Amino acid sequence: MNLIETGIAKKLIKFDEDRNFVTYIHQNKKRSYSNPEEQVQVETFLTLVLIYVYPVGRVKNYVSVQMGSETKEADIVVYADDACEKTHIVVECKKEDITDQEFNKAVDQAYSYAVAEGGSFVWVTSRIKNEYY
């Protein structure tokens, strides 16, 4: 069984009939699965929960991050506590065919989110390329 099938079986995610949309069940957040970046994000979320065994309640998708007067959105935040008040890891997901320049920009973006949220670690992934800080 692959990661997606396991995520479905364990009721972490579900798809609509045509597999156009994925829903992260624990947050009841629905997104377009036809978006290449979303496909990376689904696998990254499932990796955090199923492989690295972070409690699903501590892994949040699409977290608002206050950056000065702007509000941005971190792809995934893993919290160090059940109350989800202490940021542990900020994860930025990008589509597979991203350029090196775009990937480096994503690293900077993730770092800025981690600083704003008080995170300890950063993971930037395009599924085929990963950087950990």
Q: Per-residue pLDDT tens for 52-72? A: 999 999 999 999 998 888 899
Residue 24 lies in domain? 3-132
SS3 state at 9: helix
Is the pTM higher than 0.85? Answer: yes
pLDDT in tens, 8-18: 999 999 999 99
Domain count across the chain: 1
> Do residues 59 and 45 touch, judged by C-beta distance below 8 A?
yes
Count of alpha carbons within 13 angstroms of residue 48, beta-carbon side: 27
pLDDT reported for residue 8: 97
Tell me, what's the pLDDT at 67?
82
For residue 120, what pLDDT is reported? 95
Banded pLDDT at 86 (limits 50, 70, 90) = very high
| The residue to which tokens 């069984």 are assigned | 1
Q: Could you report the per-residue pLDDT of 97-128, keeping only the tens digit for each?
A: 999 999 999 999 999 999 999 999 999 999 99
Identify the CATH number of the domain in which residue 37 sits.
3.90.1570
The residue assigned the tokens 């990661």 is 3
Residue 68: the pLDDT is 82
